[in-house]
Structure 1
Amino acid sequence: MSKAGKIARRTFIIGSAAIVGGVAFGTYLAKRAIPNPLLNDLADGEAAITPYVKIDASGVTLITPRADKGQGAYSIQANLIAEELDIDPRTATVTPGMPGPAYYNGTVLAEAVPFPAYDQGAIAEAMRSFMAVPAKLLQMQITGGSSTVPDSYVNLRMAGAVARETLKQVAANKTGLARADLRTEDGHVVLPDGSKIAYTELAADAAGTPPVTDVSLRDPSEWRILGKANTPRLDMVAKCTGTETYGIDHSMEGMLFASVRANPGIGGYVVGFDATAAQGMRGVERIVPVKHGVGVIADNTWRAIQAVNALNIEWGPADYPATSAEIFETLEAAIGDEDAYDHRQRDDGNVDDALADGEVIEASYRIPYLAHAPLEPMNATVRVTDDACEIWTGTQIPLFIRDKAAKITGIPAEQVFVYVQPMGGSFGHRLEMTHVEQTVELAMAVKGTPVKMTWSREEDMTHDYPRPAAVSKARGKVVDGKVAAFDLSVGQSAMASSWFGRLMDMSIPGPDATITTGSWDQPFDIPHYRVTGYRAPDMVPVSSWRSVGASSNGFMHDGFLDELIHAAGADPLAERIRLCGHDTSRKVLEAVGDLSNWAGTDLGENRGRGVAFCMSFGVPVAQVVEVTNTEAGIRIDKVYCVVDSGPVLDPSNFEAQVTGGIIFGLGHAMGAELTYADHMPEQNNFDTYESIRLYQTPVIEMKALSNASKIRGIGEPCVPPAAPALANAIFAATGQRIRKLPLNKHISFA
């Protein structure tokens, strides 16, 4: 076991503890001392001391436990702590540390409550607070759901403030001065006479000093780091110079290399295999059966991939329909089936009576499976000995990986060490751990030797757990030029139970809210308004994809709303504003109209624009897309976007996340899909899994509002409106209403 592993195990404890001649500081949020890091004896609303700051004679270390997969998580976490601690985060060591129950995410499960985000009443807020309790009990150290900033915003600033005030108390004890007479600046305690004591000089004494927990957070008007434009991310230089070390770059002395082929029908077994050709190939060390597949250990990655592809493997069938046609037939059959009925969280007015007579507008929508396809394929390095297991990988779920590795190896969980690495993208892919399980199995075959396993691009695409495919049937009515009735039924396999089943080897009881997320929870006051979720049978195992259920429901919900508004003869933006019953969301819609000059612009012949709105993760986002219908196809000219996620803590990174989400949403809507034949996806590399090209990327103009009562995350909410805004713009330019993605199945793009 490495020295870092030993240090982390001894010191990352709930509480304030000595760290190798230094000190750990944390946030005291509990009403009483909590001896157990699992937090299973806390009442609702209680929390714990959580270690985020380490100071010793060599400097300051900031623990940033939410994983960085390219979205800037390490920087914003470090900035939150540093703002209150009075240090320049660029002078500190920033590390995710060793995972542990203390770093549970108390916010990520709040999205599961049966209240829309705009409902901030007492009952809804109490239930959201309560969701921190199962997060503690399940040890959910997880990065996802755009929850890093909401979960860290108070906790990490409090951690910095506790550390700051404790250091001031230590200085007060040493000098005989009152703590109130001291201040801090740039990693020093400043005495009334202007002399300074470095934090590093106080570390040894601070280790034995009870933490000062009666602290106040600074007013935003006093911020030096947060909210300031042009603050470079901590990884900016490494990313720009190509020196960042990702999981795929990890290297160890004596390391072997591996790759795996698993049944391309996910979950299918291996009937048998012939390794004759692979065994004779250069560099091959060992061929090892793994769960659902076979791995090759070799002296470099290229040779491992070539050898594993030379294996002649006979696969057993997967336990789901073999083709996309069969899959969509199953999804469509679920809608209206009483046995498939899952939930109905929106049922306003009387939809059945409203649609009983008169002209009823009907439409059906279809959403394909989508791969995550990050540029860095899944990989892990594992070393297994008789009494320990060490894992180096980019992951959003380190404790789940720890526990799964313990189960596979038989080694106690406290002797399994997960070293989280920077990630070259994820989009939800690294919420999975199949690749780690395979690497553990391979490493067990060569105990004591580290093994780096890397999936080929084809393996990564084929064994991705994709975003669920979905279908919907919609009905509606307009009266006197207004939308009067809206009825949406969605059919989809359950995502949450599929994902949790792999993580925890257990099924999740109750309805799966992700089936209708992004449709039932929209802030529109339509008189007769109903959204129903139907749970189709489990088919292709599926997972969370950037913006989760809203990524598909945003398209289906807003697309049909646009159809109704068109049928009513109303202005697309004005009618959305009229229907919107949530003040913050209404202001977002109004602002995007101003930003795009919606009311004062005549785009001219062969041009069109569409507007779309979606609230996801509590963030209202409105987008306007302008297109031109050229002889070569649709050209996307410009996108306007207005967002309200509360205070913006890093304006530069905020802009990157907004524009990135738009491009991600547009690109997948334009040309991406996974289709299935013989149980496996037909797209297995970027040449067949299409996205937006650089020359097709539009000009993007954005604006951030800050009317929201809470601070929210921005990594995902800009994805859902992009597809419907584009489809609505294409309709405006061509008269063609497209209800099935990807769009390039129906039109061409210039």
Structure 2
Amino acid sequence: MGKLATIARRTFLIGSAAVVGGVAFGVYKVKQAAPNPLLDDLPQGATALTPYVRIDGHGVTLITPRAEMGQGIHTTLAALVAEELDVAWGSIRVEHGAPGAAYYNRALVEANIPFADQDHGHAAEAMRGTMGVMAKLLPMQITGGSSSVADLFDRMRVAGAAARFALVAAAAQKFNLPAAQLKTDSGNVVAPDGRRLTYLELAPAAAVIDLPASPPLKPREQWRYLGKSLPRVDMVAKCTGTATFGIDVRLPDMVFATVRMNPAMGAALVSFDATAAKAMRGVVKVVDLPGGIAVIANNTWRAFQAAQAVQCDWAGPGYPASTAAMIDGIVASMTDKNRDSRLRDDGNVDQALAAGTRLEAEYRVPFLAHATMEPMNAVAWLHDSQLDIWAGVQNPTAARDQAAKVAGLDASKVHLHTTLMGGGFGRRLESDFVVQAVRLALAMTGKPVKMTWRREEDMTLDFYRPAAVARFRGTTAGKQVHALDVQVASLSVVESSLGRLGLPAMGPDAKIIEGAFDQPYGIANYRATAYRTPAARPVTYARSVGNSFNGFFIESFIDELAAQAGADPLNLRLALLNHEPSRQVLSAVAAMSGWGQPLAAGRGRGVAFHLCRGVPVAQVVEITTTKDGVKIDKVFVAVDVGTALDPRNLEAQLQSGVIFGLSSAVYGEITFAKGAAEQTNFHNYPVLRMQQAPQIAVKVLESGGTIRGVGETGVPPAAPALANAIFHATGKRIRELPLRKHIDFV
């Protein structure tokens, strides 16, 4: 038998081994364990049993290597380790930890394949296997795609169980007893006669014991922390104002800075005159940056004021400069020349479209800002031939590597301290603000530089979620949908973001059509085509990415088809769904909302379903029409996460997703003039206010399937459910966001 077959038996090859570009990765390289990053800078007297567990005189510290930006991930990930390690919840400390190859995100990379999540055929599984190996070899420590729990559910429990195994083995040596006779209890190993040894006492001996690759894990019925609502590990610090976000970092002898970049992102700075700025109080230096300038001063406010005093001559963009021109470019790309993919083509759509009652529609959504509450910021300090950085980032390995390149240092000399962050939503996957801080540190060697963007800079220099256009054709007959043809055009976030990392975007960008091709609707004739608009203004990932617009597109059009067929929109969806967990969430939200019960005059109710990141979610929105506009009264949400690890946190995340989705649906829009965004702050880029927020009821179902995350899941159904409620109440079908362009809200 040939060598390829031999490799396939021993490791992975298209489902077992990884083949990329015709090259099979070596068995040794694939199976090689990543080094423990905690060992690189281990304090005196501390022990790192695994990349997730450090024990020292302060107790047990658990490393949770995903960015905490309000979603509660540090609590859930810490619980995975604490459950198996058997430590008291109130005794642990939690840290993000340094960038490390051991923390690569396999689940996220595996999800970025052009196959539906529920497709477990040979080709889909083969590609997942290939991408999983790529994730380990690259390795990218990313927080995003609702992937943290899915990726680390097994790995972090194994890390906790392996550490506990080593501690028990060390105690067995000290007690001179078989390990099977020992128990653990909240950070102690206990002998049958009651003698106890703390984990701290045992850690040095445990550190030299070989760890098992597959230690036994607790069955669910023995879970102490998982499956329950736990106190958030960051709750006290955030409630008392003692939590450290990037914007809170202060160091001795620090100077303060801000940047002012060409508002047409990516365009050059032709020239500038900083004479007035240099004469202002507290100004230390004005620095020339690619595409803009920075001002360093003795406080942030003075840096802000001086930056605005610099006279800048900006070059124009090399891409369409107005909103209309950008949208025209997206529409023009809907041709065979720009076809990116056709990831679903069931039945004979063209033939089916010729029969039955036909409906056609076009939908549009605008560019959106991430609008995080904490503007972009970073602290950089070049000293003693090393670089220290403090920043809230979602991709710390990329941020570290880009910083090292700019500073001309080996990556081992760059120490990135990932802080808490006041929102990310995909914006902090980018490292532009980190690189800017590093450039300023190079200009101020020996002094820590704290670089903070003005809110206006943050809003206008965002890498936006791209605008998109969808065209639909469908037919109905006998209260059934017989054909669905969806075409979606947009800029490629994958091409744009990978390009900034110096990586090629290979193959189709499934993000353009995700949420449209992969929905579990059993429509016999179903075609989904994506068109990639040629690269223009830089864009990036935003919360739920393509699902954020395709959810609105497809669930609005399904509602239109139901109306045309004279069918109840919820019952029609139930009849179409061929995925049982999806049917269950839709039935659950119907019961929660009293679907089918009559509403008073002037009120409306709309439904939407979506499968996002493998998680089925259904929402019903209830509204009231008033003389001043639409009031959003209630939102009912049902979701199936497989297994609920922290029910209260899941509920909070779904509520967050609903508010995020409704804010974008009602208000969200970035427009352009001369290449620059016209929205500069929350006065002209509003979000829902507290008095507008609806009551939100959440029901979490557990089918026992694959563990899933919900950071993005609540977003996609919110806009279509609201638009469908407006149609139910007013008869007005709105096919463009934001909705406030067509109807008033109170």
Shorter-chain TM-score category?
over 0.9
Contact map agreement 1:588 1:642 (CA 8 A) in 2: yes
Corresponding position of 2:238: 239
Corresponding position of 2:170: 170
User: Offset of 1:184 from its aligned partner?
Assistant: 0.4
Q: Distance in 2 between matches of 1:18 and 1:366?
A: 53
Corresponding position of 1:62: 62
Q: Distance in 2 between matches of 1:586 and 1:665?
A: 22
Corresponding position of 2:654: 658
User: Offset of 1:23 from its aligned partner?
Assistant: 2.6
Letter paired with 1:72: G
Corresponding position of 1:204: 204
Contact map agreement 1:291 1:438 (CA 8 A) in 2: no
Q: Distance in 2 between matches of 1:471 and 1:369?
A: 11
Q: Distance in 1 between matches of 2:42 and 2:371?
A: 43
Corresponding position of 1:424: 422
**Residue 645, structure 1, aligned to residue 644, structure 2:** no
Corresponding position of 1:3: none
User: Offset of 1:594 from its aligned partner?
Assistant: 1.2
Corresponding position of 2:442: 444
Corresponding position of 1:145: 145
Contact map agreement 2:262 2:314 (CA 8 A) in 1: yes
Question: Which segment drifts farther, 686-695 or 263-272?
Answer: 686-695
Query: Which of 490, 493, 506 matches 1:492?
Result: 490
Corresponding position of 2:665: 669
Contact map agreement 1:670 1:744 (CA 8 A) in 2: yes
Corresponding position of 1:607: 603
Q: Distance in 2 between matches of 1:359 and 1:204?
A: 75
Matches for 1:257-336 after TM superposition, within 5 Å: 257-335=256-334
**Residue 193, structure 1, aligned to residue 193, structure 2:** yes
Q: Distance in 1 between matches of 2:39 and 2:371?
A: 40
Corresponding position of 1:507: 504
User: Offset of 1:211 from its aligned partner?
Assistant: 2.2
Contact map agreement 2:356 2:476 (CA 8 A) in 1: no
Contact map agreement 2:356 2:477 (CA 8 A) in 1: no
User: Offset of 1:128 from its aligned partner?
Assistant: 2.3
User: Offset of 1:357 from its aligned partner?
Assistant: 5.1
Gaps of 5+ in 1: 1-9, 27-50
User: Offset of 1:675 from its aligned partner?
Assistant: 0.5
Matches for 1:699-738 after TM superposition, within 5 Å: 699-738=695-734
Matches for 1:338-737 after TM superposition, within 5 Å: 338-356=336-354, 359-385=357-383, 387-502=385-500, 504-599=501-596, 601-737=597-733
Q: Distance in 2 between matches of 1:704 and 1:175?
A: 46
Letter paired with 1:511: P
Q: Distance in 2 between matches of 1:313 and 1:134?
A: 44
Matches for 1:93-242 after TM superposition, within 5 Å: 93-121=93-121, 123-229=123-229, 231-242=230-241
Contact map agreement 1:22 1:207 (CA 8 A) in 2: no
User: Offset of 1:163 from its aligned partner?
Assistant: 0.6
Contact map agreement 1:572 1:611 (CA 8 A) in 2: yes
Q: Distance in 1 between matches of 2:42 and 2:660?
A: 45
Letter paired with 2:546: G
Contact map agreement 1:19 1:54 (CA 8 A) in 2: no
Letter paired with 1:609: R
Q: Distance in 1 between matches of 2:71 and 2:355?
A: 50
Matches for 1:729-748 after TM superposition, within 5 Å: 729-748=725-744
Q: Distance in 2 between matches of 1:121 and 1:393?
A: 41
* Residues 222-261 of structure 1: per-residue CA shift (max 9 Å, x gap): 11111113x2101111112222111000010000000000
User: Offset of 1:127 from its aligned partner?
Assistant: 3.1
Q: Distance in 2 between matches of 1:338 and 1:11?
A: 47
Contact map agreement 2:369 2:462 (CA 8 A) in 1: yes
Q: Distance in 2 between matches of 1:13 and 1:247?
A: 22
Contact map agreement 2:35 2:101 (CA 8 A) in 1: no
* Residues 327-349 of structure 1: per-residue CA shift (max 9 Å, x gap): 111111111x1111110001111
Q: Cα 1:11–1:500, aligned 2, differ >3 Å: closer, same or farther?
A: closer
Corresponding position of 1:37: none
Q: Cα 1:204–1:11, aligned 2, differ >3 Å: closer, same or farther?
A: farther
Q: Distance in 1 between matches of 2:211 and 2:502?
A: 40
Report SS of the residue matched to 1:684.
coil
Q: Distance in 1 between matches of 2:43 and 2:259?
A: 40
User: Offset of 1:186 from its aligned partner?
Assistant: 0.6
Letter paired with 2:102: A
User: Offset of 1:25 from its aligned partner?
Assistant: 2.1
Q: Distance in 1 between matches of 2:351 and 2:718?
A: 34
Q: Distance in 2 between matches of 1:144 and 1:442?
A: 29
Corresponding position of 1:25: 49
Contact map agreement 1:16 1:210 (CA 8 A) in 2: no
Corresponding position of 2:24: none
Corresponding position of 2:7: none
Q: Cα 1:540–1:70, aligned 2, differ >3 Å: closer, same or farther?
A: same
Q: Cα 1:539–1:360, aligned 2, differ >3 Å: closer, same or farther?
A: same
Q: Distance in 2 between matches of 1:93 and 1:692?
A: 35
Question: Which segment drifts farther, 377-386 or 576-585?
Answer: 377-386
Contact map agreement 1:486 1:528 (CA 8 A) in 2: yes
User: Offset of 1:139 from its aligned partner?
Assistant: 1.4
Q: Cα 1:158–1:286, aligned 2, differ >3 Å: closer, same or farther?
A: same
* Residues 464-483 of structure 1: per-residue CA shift (max 9 Å, x gap): 00001000111111111211
Q: Distance in 1 between matches of 2:389 and 2:139?
A: 19
User: Offset of 1:708 from its aligned partner?
Assistant: 4.8
Letter paired with 2:631: R
TM-score (normalizing by structure 2): 0.94
User: Offset of 1:654 from its aligned partner?
Assistant: 0.9
User: Offset of 1:100 from its aligned partner?
Assistant: 1.1
Q: What's the C-alpha RMSD, in Å, of the aligned pairs?
A: 1.6
**Residue 749, structure 1, aligned to residue 728, structure 2:** no
TM-score (normalizing by structure 1): 0.93
Q: Distance in 2 between matches of 1:211 and 1:529?
A: 50
Q: Distance in 2 between matches of 1:201 and 1:597?
A: 59
State how many pairs are aligned: 713
Q: Distance in 1 between matches of 2:638 and 2:140?
A: 32
Corresponding position of 1:255: 254
Q: Distance in 2 between matches of 1:358 and 1:651?
A: 45
Q: Distance in 2 between matches of 1:129 and 1:619?
A: 21
Contact map agreement 1:78 1:89 (CA 8 A) in 2: no
User: Offset of 1:712 from its aligned partner?
Assistant: 0.3
User: Offset of 1:358 from its aligned partner?
Assistant: 5.4
* Residues 196-240 of structure 1: per-residue CA shift (max 9 Å, x gap): 1111111122222222445211011111111113x2101111112
Q: Distance in 2 between matches of 1:371 and 1:53?
A: 37
Q: Distance in 2 between matches of 1:547 and 1:88?
A: 35
Q: Distance in 1 between matches of 2:214 and 2:322?
A: 61
Report SS of the residue matched to 2:52.
strand
Q: Distance in 2 between matches of 1:180 and 1:18?
A: 31
User: Offset of 1:17 from its aligned partner?
Assistant: 12
Contact map agreement 2:35 2:102 (CA 8 A) in 1: no
Letter paired with 1:534: Y
Report SS of the residue matched to 2:390.
strand
Letter paired with 2:615: V
Q: Distance in 1 between matches of 2:580 and 2:169?
A: 46
User: Offset of 1:277 from its aligned partner?
Assistant: 1.0
Q: Distance in 2 between matches of 1:228 and 1:152?
A: 18
Contact map agreement 1:397 1:431 (CA 8 A) in 2: yes
Contact map agreement 2:276 2:310 (CA 8 A) in 1: yes
Letter paired with 2:154: V
Contact map agreement 1:18 1:208 (CA 8 A) in 2: no
Q: Cα 1:451–1:14, aligned 2, differ >3 Å: closer, same or farther?
A: closer
